Amino acid sequence: AAPVAFLGGTSRAAHLGIVVKGGGTLEALARARSVAFDKTGTLSRGEPELVRVDAAPGTDPDELLRLAASAEQHSSHVLAEGVIRAARRRGLALAEAVDGEELATHGVTATVEGRQIVVGKLQLVRETDPTAYPAELGAGQTAVSVAVGGRFAGNLVLADPLRPNAAATVQVLRDLGIRDVVVLTGDNRTTAVSLAADAGVEPSGVHAELLPQDKVRIVTAMPHRPVVMVGDGINDAPVLAAADVGIAMGARGATAASEAADVVITRDDIGKVVQAVEVGRHTYRVAL
Ligand code: ADP
Ligand code: MG
């Protein structure tokens, strides 16, 4: 690996909005045989829109949304942004939330107007109120469950569509000889399988309901190496560090992910993953 080739490739990549950090990164990109994508904010746009508020009996839907959005001010998750946007759009004024805390990547808790709010996965809310029940979900939809003052208060249903060029990106990667393309997500399996299918990833390549350490375990065990991991969130920092090449996506600027990554894509464009592999191949003239 001549330094001259490395510098040429790095500056070519930089012109494309692809910041390459490590010395061996371009060569590993050139030789990559597996690509793992995070779902939310990576394969999907990461701008979830509120579809429906399913308030529990006796709960006012706008009140549910207002309290959930108030607590979400303490989260950096893309779903939190979607909940807050939806509340503002309905003209709901957010209340001050104190003692906010992100809960093991599955949601957030905070105290709002003297009541403890828990917002996140159904399993998380069930730890507060075992009677919490799931929402009915259509394709590409995900649910955020809410507990208020120790009681299940309902579900918020959000839709986070696939990025328009996600399927084309997966196809081109396969055409470039990438053996395995997989999706890793903390979200539920039904949502993940349906979104992955639209991206051209078969159900056997979908790993859902994962914790950050599960993502690390799966990437570390992938058979065809080097493995490229593409992610966007704070939660993705460990797996980006564990992959042979970690690519952090997005102008959103999740610093923890960017710091753990070997490559940072400065524009919010998943197609840059293909360009990164191509620059690597061009630099190292890898013929597969
Ligand atoms: P992904 O791996 O697809 O990016 P994450 O691991 O970040 O997903 O999140 C997993 C799940 O946890 C989300 O699908 C969501 O159900 C829930 N979750 C995490 N943080 C929040 C939050 N702040 N508000 C609502 N739900 C959350
Ligand atoms: Mg994500």
Answer whether 235 contacts ligand 1 (Cβ < 6 A). yes
Question: Which CATH architecture is the domain 3-44+162-284 placed in?
Answer: 3-Layer(aba) Sandwich (3.40)
State the pTM of this model. Answer: 0.87
Q: Which CATH number fits domain 49-159: 3.40.50.1000, 3.40.1110.10, 3.40.50.720, 3.40.50.150?
A: 3.40.1110.10
Q: What is the spatial distance between Cα 146 and Cα 107, in angstroms, rounded to a whole number?
A: 10
Alpha-carbon dihedral angle through residues 16, 22, 28, 34, given to the nearest 10 degrees:
-80
- For the chain, give every residue range classified as CATH 3.40.1110.10: 49-159
Nearest CA to ligand 1 atom 22: 107
Report ipTM for this prediction. Answer: 0.95
CA distance 91 to 105: 29
In this structure, which residue's CA is closest to atom 2 in ligand 1? 185
Does the beta carbon of 187 sit less than 6 angstroms from any atom of ligand 1? yes
The number of the ligand nearest the C-alpha atom of 142 reads 1
Q: What is the pLDDT of residue 252?
A: 59
Which of 4-18, 25-39, 253-267: highest mean pLDDT?
Answer: 25-39
At 197 the pLDDT is 96
pLDDT number for residue 90: 97
Res 258 pLDDT > 90: no
Q: Report pLDDT digits (tens) over 84-113.
A: 999 999 999 999 999 999 987 689 999 999
Enumerate the CATH 3.40.50.1000 domain ranges in the chain, comma separated: 3-44+162-284
In the chain, DSSP assigns E strands to 18-20, 34-38, 49-55, 97-103, 107-112, 115-120, 141-148, 151-159, 180-184, 206-207, 227-231, 245-249, 263-265
pLDDT above 80 for 4: no
* Shortest-distance atom of ligand 1 to CA 235: 7
CB of 121 within 6 A of ligand 1: the answer is yes
Per residue in 262-276, pLDDT (tens digit) is 999 988 899 999 999
